[in-house]
Chains A and B, each alone.
Chain A
Amino acid sequence: DTEVTQTPKHLVMGMTNKKSLKCEQHMGHRAMYWYKQKAKKPPELMFVYSYEKLSINESVPSRFSPECPNSSLLNLHLHALQPEDSALYLCASSQVSEETQYFGPGTRLLVL
């Protein structure tokens, strides 16, 4: 099973809202990732968690707050976003000893 799930599939939020994106995997992977992808651009790494600890933060603005409550779950908390934050947000997971990353279906976010 190489499935990573993400909810919600679509999200529309205002600039004053607080919302969360959720990612789940049951492959036993201990590395999980958040990416942001704008149209016609490659995925852009935001955060990496390894063994539930934040290992990479690619200088992401604090309005994005990641959380890894356990080895299967990854959240991305959103607050006071800007319209330019509208994008496809992708979660991925991998074994810590490997770099083969499996992506979830993504959450398409629109900030009004």
Chain B
Amino acid sequence: QKEVEQNSGPLSVPEGAIASLNCTYSDRGSQSFFWYRQYSGKSPELIMFIYSNGDKEDGRFTAQLNKASQYVSLLIRDSQPSDSATYLCAVGLNFGNEKLTFGTGTRLTIIP
């Protein structure tokens, strides 16, 4: 059974610091990896996706993928109070319209 695990938190980070969110997955066949941000009462919003080993940067966000160790992480630089949300890691097999397996999410709180 495919599993995706995240530390549920809450993770508290001072404003301006780097927030580091981690995700591990069990299926070695996984090929696509996504980070969604979800504010309380709202729907998930896609932040990043990554397919290849290494780092992918987009503004203040960096996704890191290590397929050998089966983990994917999200770094948020210069954390802002508006980054306070639940971050969902999702993993797919990249066959197209396959279902994504979601982690339970990490609740991040940025402390002003």
Contacts and interface: CB of A to CB of B under 8 A. Distances in A.
Interface string A1-39: 010000000000000000000000000000100000000
User: Chain A's interface: helix, strand, loop or mixed, by majority?
Assistant: loop
Interface in B61-98: 88, 92-98
A101 B35 CA distance: 11
Contacts of B49: 100
A93 to B, nearest CB: 10
A99 interface: yes
Contacts of B102: 42-43
Contacts of B98: 99
Contacts of A95: 96
Interface stretch (A65-73, A78-86, A102-110): A102-110
Contact of A105 (B43, B93, B97, B100): B43
Nearest to B86: A40
B97 A90 contact: no
A74 interface: no
A97 B76 CA distance: 29
Contact of A90 (B43, B96, B103, B105): B43
A51 B30 CA distance: 24
Nearest to B34: A100
Interface string B42-71: 111110010000000000000000000000
Most buried by A among B41, B43, B88, B100: B43
A100 B44 CA distance: 12
A100 B31 CA distance: 12
A99 B100 contact: yes
Most buried by A among B42, B95, B100, B102: B100
A112 interface: no
Contacts of A105: 42-43
Interface of A: 2, 31, 41-43, 45, 48, 50, 55-56, 58, 88, 90, 94-106, 108
7 contacts: A41-B104, A42-B103, A45-B100, A50-B97, A55-B97, A101-B46, A102-B46
